[in-house]
């Protein structure tokens, strides 16, 4: 019984983090869609007075830290990718410089990647929305993916474990016709290299 208690506790914390984090993302998306009054009400119901990018990144980092901390020696590469993809790396427009407030979560990510199952290879993929020219979007996404990969290398992740690829706006996960959709499409996404 005592051996499985930590698993139950981790599952409970992960569930609460996921549910709370989903509400935070909904608050951010509501603010991006221009419904200022309703987004403020939603933000207040989630414990924020201001649903800005900094608060969203902090909550994303907290969920990522919890998920990475819950990985064990028996965790799979898929478990690792799920945890890594909770992270929001919010680059400034036109920049590939990793924001300082997001470096700590990337350091923790590097530690988790270093303990991944033997032979695990991951791709750091960067995506943009469709604002701007396709060539520029591809270029900035490549630079962002490379910046994340290089940072992880500097933190001791073996070179063989990572590749990077910029996709520009070629793989949207939502419509680019709305601010909400564009927000979803601007992302760093980890995947397993098969």
CATH code (residue 100) = 3.30.1330.60
pLDDT for 184 equals: 80
- The predicted-structure confidence for 5-58, as pLDDT tens digits, reads as follows 555 555 555 544 545 444 444 444 443 333 333 333 333 333 323 345 677 778
pTM over 0.85? The answer is: no
Distance CA 100, CA 177 (A): 30
The confidence score (pLDDT) of residue 3 equals 58
Residue 32 placed within a domain = no
**In the prediction, which pLDDT does 119 show?**
93
What's the pLDDT at 130? 93
115 pLDDT above the threshold of 90 = yes
- What pLDDT is recorded for position 152? 98
Mean pLDDT of the chain: 79
Tally of domains within the chain:
1
Percentages (nearest 5) of helix, strand, coil residues in the chain: 55, 10, 35
> Domain for residue 40, yes or no?
no
* pLDDT for res 90: 83
Domain that residue 86 falls in: 60-192
Average pLDDT over residues 151-179: 95
Q: Which residues pair with 163 in a beta bridge?
A: 123
Q: Which of 9-18, 20-29, 62-71, 148-157 has the lowest mean pLDDT?
A: 20-29
- Whether 171 shows a pLDDT value over 70: the answer reads yes
Asked if residue 21 is part of any domain, the answer here is no
Number of helices (H) and strands (E) in the chain: give both, helices first: 7, 3
Strands (E), the chain: 122-127, 162-166, 187-192
Beta-carbon-side half-sphere exposure of residue 48 (alpha carbons within 13 Å): 25
Q: For residue 22, tell me if it sits in a domain.
A: no
Question: For strand 162-166 and strand 122-127, is the pairing parallel, antiparallel, or unpaired?
Answer: parallel
Is residue 151 in some structural domain? yes
């Amino acid at each position: 019984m005592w051996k499985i208690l930590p698993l139950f506790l981790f599952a409970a914390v992960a569930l609460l983090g996921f549910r709370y984090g989903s509400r935070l993302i909904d608050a951010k998306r509501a603010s991006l869609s221009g419904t200022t009054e309703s987004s403020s009400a939603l933000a207040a119901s989630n414990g924020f007075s201001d649903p800005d990018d900094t608060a969203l990144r902090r909550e994303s980092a907290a969920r990522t830290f919890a998920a990475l901390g819950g990985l064990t020696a028996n965790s799979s590469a898929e478990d690792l990718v799920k945890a890594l993809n909770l992270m929001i790396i919010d680059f400034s427009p036109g920049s590939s410089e990793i924001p300082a407030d997001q470096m700590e979560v990337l350091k923790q990510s590097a530690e988790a990647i270093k303990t991944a199952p033997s032979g695990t290879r991951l791709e750091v993929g960067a995506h943009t929305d469709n604002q701007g020219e396709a060539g520029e979007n591809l270029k900035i996404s490549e630079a962002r993916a490379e910046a994340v990969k290089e940072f992880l290398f500097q933190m001791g992740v073996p070179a063989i474990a990572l590749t990077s690829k910029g996709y520009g706006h070629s793989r949207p996960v939502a419509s680019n016709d709305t601010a909400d959709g564009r927000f979803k499409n601007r992302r760093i996404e980890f995947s397993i290299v098969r």
